[in-house]
Copies of this chain bind each other. A is one copy, B any other.
Amino acid sequence: MPEGDFEMSNNGKRIRLWVSYDGTNYHGWQVQNNGITIESELNRALTELYRQEIKVIGASRTDAGVHALGNVAIFDVNSPIPAEKVCYALNARLPEDIRVTRSEEVPRDWHPRKCESRKTYEYRIYLGEILPPVKRLYCHHVYRPLDVEAMQRAAAILVGEHDFKSFCQENAQVESTVRTIYSIELTRQGNVPGGEELAIRVTGGGFLYNMVRIIVGTLLEVGFGRWTPENVRRILEAKDRSAAGPTAPAKGLTLIQYEFAGEERKTE
């Protein structure tokens, strides 16, 4: 059947995409007036594929420079193209720094931001005097020594259900700033080519705007010895963005995994 000949019907389906990207060359996820975004590229490729205007809804609207191995998006369409084949057709129309790793049909009422989920971010820090060029787009560079053990103790204080108002960009419009973090794992990786790296993996039920980057910026202050883990408890209690550390740079952050309640599937 030629590509333009799909039969249209009223019983359209909802398709979920798992999206992996290098955020370096994009103005983040969300469609903007000026600048290409992950969302605008997906919309363009889908509109080309189906020859009708398609707009996706994304699970996480990542910032400019943030990477993903497993972000999620949905769209609705009337089309006989099997849902599982959509990823291949899209990859042929997407630039090589965006890949759809899987596509599948989901119930018409399924929505990635309205169902229970766990997501995992990884923040990578390169420890050493000079940042190797092959790491420059994927690691934040810290050349001062870090007390990783103190950072670990500080991280443990943030695990659990808390009001993370201090860890949210100030002008974010949200009803509640209470969120649950399931785990924060710090791993020193000494055997990577080029030197030592610190990977900080944060898993939670949901995150406020810039929350992971502000957590990392705060843990770094502890690592530098400027704050103690006990300070981090007081930062939580302050419910004030200015109490926490700076927002760590976007390029060190990768959204690595989404898990949805009741589903076996996950990204990695």
Q: Could you say which of A130, A131, A138, A254 has the most chain B C-beta atoms within 10 Å of its C-beta? A: A130
Give the CA-CA distance A22 to B135 in the complex, in Å.
9
Residue A180 at the chain B interface, CB threshold 8 Å: no
Specify which of B67, B97, B193, B268 is in contact with A69 (CB 8 Å cutoff). B193
Q: Could you say which of A21, A69, A134 has the most chain B C-beta atoms within 10 Å of its C-beta? A: A134
For A194, list chain B residues within 8 Å (CB): 20, 69, 256, 268
For A195, list chain B residues within 8 Å (CB): 268
Is the Cβ of A20 less than 8 Å from the Cβ of B97?
no
Q: How many residues from A make CB contacts under 8 Å with B?
A: 28
Give the CA-CA distance A130 to B100 in the complex, in Å.
8
Interface string of A24-42 (1 = CB under 8 A from B): 0000000000000000000
For A158, list chain B residues within 8 Å (CB): none
Give the CA-CA distance A7 to B239 in the complex, in Å.
60
Give the CA-CA distance A99 to B135 in the complex, in Å.
12
For A67, list chain B residues within 8 Å (CB): 133-134
For A132, list chain B residues within 8 Å (CB): 20, 69, 99, 101
Interface string of A120-134 (1 = CB under 8 A from B): 001000000111111
Specify which of B136, B193, B268 is in contact with A256 (CB 8 Å cutoff). B193
Give the residue name and chain of the B residue nearest to A254 (CB): B193
Interface residues in chain A, defined as those with a beta carbon under 8 Å from any beta carbon in chain B: 20-22, 67, 69, 87, 91, 96-101, 122, 129-134, 136, 138, 193-195, 254, 256, 268
Excluding A20-B194, A96-B136, A99-B130, 14 further A-B contacts by CB distance (< 8 Å) are: A20-B133, A20-B134, A21-B133, A22-B134, A67-B133, A69-B194, A96-B133, A97-B133, A100-B130, A101-B132, A122-B193, A134-B138, A134-B254, A193-B256
